[in-house]
Structure 1
């Protein structure tokens, strides 16, 4: 009889050690860049009220996992949707189910880790201020990760609700609330966009030469303006960000002009591509998520939980 480890939301979050997640996500991104992962196209079953998406993936050395996530309208937030799901981790050698965990904290930190790795690889080394646009769960996860990794560099937080912006900024020792998105973005060396926007929240004119932009939001529409996309050197987790239609692909990367290319972040991390070419270059990382990143985070959560004897073991 086999056993499966069950981690609720709190234990999943506790088991996602930031430094280990960064390392595992780096491994997954490099594997994507080298075409070493097995990740089929995303599929979903639709109801009149929402959908259930399935995202399986295998990353050699990290494991085999699948995320099931439901996306339904949220009555408490008109125009917004709720995302609920689970991640199942399997042994990559014999197929045994190993663990079942909450998808929400896992998705938040692997997305924040990917965005952070893009900044580390592509931003100028002299960045002295960071901007975070957004105040929701993903923005808060990004700010919390920045606080864990670099509590000294100032972080300006901007959003529509000053109260939510204040509580998000408080997650970072050097966090502050900006009076507007424009004020936050102007002069920031790195800009993290983490919104649920359906139209652009960033204007190209606000971005100084050499800025790095990491955009992880915009599932329902573009959060970046065409001018920023036009002028930037483009990076993504996978080529499908530009070659598949939303929501799998990125709204901002659809129908790029002939000759425009998108470089894989994993190719930069793996040393196959130089990344930034000069200090004045505008770089843009557009994230759409990737199942290999879920595998990476699930691997960390499972390893940490087992080492700490966390979670509930259930016989199958």
Structure 2
């Protein structure tokens, strides 16, 4: 018989220490860049109303895990979808199941961590103002992470709902609300785009020279216009962001010309690629998620929960 640790949603969220998650996600991204991870292509079972996707992965030193996540239309929010799931962590040496945890907070923070690492690696050193576009769960996770690691950096928040934008901005001690997305984006050195958009919400004309954009949304369509993608130097977690079709791949990176290269963020973090080349370069990190990042976050949650004696132990 095996004993596993069960973490509910609140316990999973509490165990995801922001700085430790950043470090673990950086390790996973570097491992992806060096082709050291084992992550098979994503698979999904489809119903008339949604899908159930499976994302297993192994990262040496961080562990072996699998995420099962359902993506279904949300009747309460027309045009939006719900993401619910679980993550199972296993011992990478003998295969024992170790923990079962809520996928929602884990996915939110590992996505925000990858976006934050892209800004650290690719934004101009003098980029002193941040814009976060979006007011949903992922935007809030991004703002909360920025509050934990960069509480003094001004953050402008904008989205379709001013009320939700206000509550999201309140998560950051230097947060403020802009009425229009354009106003938040203009003059920002770093733009985090975290929306459920089906059409572009960012326009090239709004972006100043040298801006870094981190786009983690757009599961149902492009967040960014074609001109932004055309002019930017492109980065992603994995090459499949450009070579596989959505939803595994990014809408914005489909059918790129042969000469357009997508650089792996892990190659920049690992020192194999220089990243930004000059002050005026437009850099774009397009995230589609990766199972190795789930492994990284699950590794942190398990370690913290075990040290704090959180969770419920279950015998299988």
CA distance, structure 2, for counterparts of residue 229 and residue 73 of structure 1:
28
- Which string of whole-angstrom CA distances, capped at 9 and with x for unpartnered residues, describes residues 14-63 of structure 1? 00000000000000000000000000000000111111000000000000
Cα shift at 1:78: 1.2
Counterpart-to-counterpart distance in 2, 1:30 and 1:95:
24
Aligned partners of 2:141 and 2:300: how far apart in 1?
A: 17
TM-score with structure 2 length normalisation?
1.00
Q: CA deviation at 1:256?
A: 0.4
Could you tell me how far 1:198 is from its partner in structure 2?
Answer: 0.1
C-alpha distance in 1 between matches for 2:82 and 2:200:
21
Query: Residue by residue, what CA displacement relative to the aligned partner does 1:240-290 show, whole Å, maximum 9, x if unpaired?
Result: 000000000000000001200000000000000000000010000000000
Alpha-carbon offset, residue 2 of structure 1: 1.7
- 1:80-115 superposed Cα distances (whole Å, 9 cap, x missing partner): 111100000000000000000000000000000000
**How much does 1:127 deviate?**
1.1
Structure 2, unaligned runs of 5 or more: none
What stretches of structure 1 move > 3 A for 4+ residues in a row?
none
Q: How many residues align?
A: 316
Tell me how large the CA RMSD over aligned residues is: 0.4
Q: TM-score, normalised by structure 1?
A: 1.00
Shift of 1:73: 1.1
Take 1:135 and 1:249, find their aligned partners in 2: how far apart are those partners? Answer: 23
C-alpha separation between the residues in 2 aligned to 1:79 and 1:53? 20
Distance 2:292 2:226 in 1: 29
**In 2: Cα distance, 1:283 partner to 1:74 partner:** 33
- In structure 2, C-alpha distance between the alignment counterparts of 1:258 and 1:40, rounded to whole Å: 25
Q: Which runs of 5+ in 1 are unaligned?
A: none
Q: Could you list the per-position Cα deviations for residues 107-132 of structure 1 after superposition, in whole angstroms to 9, with x for gaps in the alignment? A: 00000000000000000011111000
> What secondary structure does 1:100 align onto?
strand
| Superimposed CA distance per residue, residues 180-209 of structure 1 (whole angstroms, 9 cap, x where no aligned partner) | 000000000000000000000000000000
Whole-angstrom distance in 2 between the partners of 1:50 and 1:22? 31
Tell me how far 1:157 sits from its aligned partner.
Answer: 0.1
SS of structure 2 residue aligned to 1:164? helix
